[in-house]
A and B are shown apart, each in its own frame.
Chain A
Amino acid sequence: MAENLKIDFTHNQAAHCENGVVSNLMRHNGFEISEPMVFGIGSGLLFSYLPFLKVNYAPVFTYRSMPGFIFNKFAKRTGIKMKREKFTNPELAKKRLDQNLANNNPVGLQVGVYNLIYFPDEYRFHFNAHNMVVYGKEGDRYLISDPVMEDVTSLSSKELEKVRFAKGAFAPKGHMYYPTAFPEKLELKTAIVKGIKQTSRDMTAPVPIVGVKAMKWVAKNIRKWPNKLGTKKANHYLGQIVRMQEEIGTGGGGFRYIYGAFLQEASEVLENDKLMELSKEMTSIGDAWRDFAVDASRIYKNRNAESNGYEDVATQLEALAAREESFFKALKKSV
Chain B
Amino acid sequence: MKKEEVPQDKSNLASANIREMMYAVDENGKYTTSLSTGWDPKTIALDNAIKEIEERIALAKERVANNQTSPIEYYMELHKMDLTVLASYVGLWKWRVKRHFKPSVFKKLSDKTLQKYADVFDISINQLKTFNGGES
Nearest Cβ on chain A to B134's Cβ, whole angstroms: 24
How far is A148 from B6 in the complex, measured between Cα atoms in Å? 16
- B23 pairs with A258, CB closer than 8 A: yes
Residues on the B chain within 8 Å of A251, using CB: 6-7, 20, 22, 36, 39, 42
On whether A171 and B88 interact (CB within 8 A), knowing A54-B82, A126-B81, A243-B45, the answer reads yes
On whether A300 and B48 interact (CB within 8 A), knowing A13-B21, A168-B84, the answer reads yes
- A297 pairs with B45, CB closer than 8 A: yes
How far is A248 from B88 in the complex, measured between Cα atoms in Å? 25
User: Who on chain B is nearest to A243 by CB?
Assistant: B45
Residues on the B chain within 8 Å of A311, using CB: none
Query: B99 at the A/B interface (Cβ < 8 Å)?
Result: no
Residues on the B chain within 8 Å of A300, using CB: 44-45, 48
Nearest Cβ on chain A to B50's Cβ, whole angstroms: 6
How far is A124 from B18 in the complex, measured between Cα atoms in Å? 14
On whether A126 and B1 interact (CB within 8 A), knowing A13-B21, A294-B41, the answer reads no
- A242 pairs with B45, CB closer than 8 A: yes
How far is A272 from B35 in the complex, measured between Cα atoms in Å? 30
On whether A257 and B24 interact (CB within 8 A), knowing A57-B82, A252-B7, A300-B45, the answer reads yes
- B25 pairs with A283, CB closer than 8 A: yes
Q: Chain A 260-299 against B: per-residue CB contact (8 Å), 1 yes, 0 no?
A: 1100110000000000000110010011001001101100
- A246 pairs with B41, CB closer than 8 A: yes
How far is A264 from B26 in the complex, measured between Cα atoms in Å? 13
Residues on the A chain within 8 Å of B35, using CB: 150
User: Who on chain B is nearest to A235 by CB?
Assistant: B48
Residues on the B chain within 8 Å of A239, using CB: 44-45, 48-49
- A296 pairs with B18, CB closer than 8 A: no
In the complex, identify which listed stretch (A113-121, A204-212, A324-332) lies at the interface while the others stay far away: A113-121
On whether A119 and B88 interact (CB within 8 A), knowing A252-B39, A283-B1, the answer reads no
How far is A15 from B19 in the complex, measured between Cα atoms in Å? 10
On whether A120 and B16 interact (CB within 8 A), knowing A246-B45, A257-B1, A297-B41, the answer reads yes
Query: A109 at the A/B interface (Cβ < 8 Å)?
Result: no
Query: B124 at the A/B interface (Cβ < 8 Å)?
Result: no
On whether A56 and B49 interact (CB within 8 A), knowing A36-B23, A249-B21, A252-B1, the answer reads yes
Nearest Cβ on chain A to B90's Cβ, whole angstroms: 9
How far is A86 from B42 in the complex, measured between Cα atoms in Å? 33
Nearest Cβ on chain B to A59's Cβ, whole angstroms: 13
User: Who on chain B is nearest to A283 by CB?
Assistant: B25
How far is A122 from B15 in the complex, measured between Cα atoms in Å? 10
Q: For residues 1 through 53 of chain B, which have their beta carbon under 8 Å from a beta carbon of chain A?
A: 1, 6-7, 12-13, 15-25, 29-31, 33, 35-36, 39-42, 44-50, 52
Q: Which of B1, B49, B52 contacts A287 (CB 8 A)?
A: B1
Query: A224 at the A/B interface (Cβ < 8 Å)?
Result: no
- Of the A-B pairs whose beta carbons lie under 8 Å apart in the complex, a sample of 8, sorted by A's number, is A120-B12, A121-B12, A122-B50, A148-B18, A252-B36, A260-B23, A265-B31, A297-B42
Where the two chains meet, the residues of B that have a C-beta atom closer than 8 Å to any C-beta of A are 1, 6-7, 12-13, 15-25, 29-31, 33, 35-36, 39-42, 44-50, 52, 79-82, 84-85, 88-89
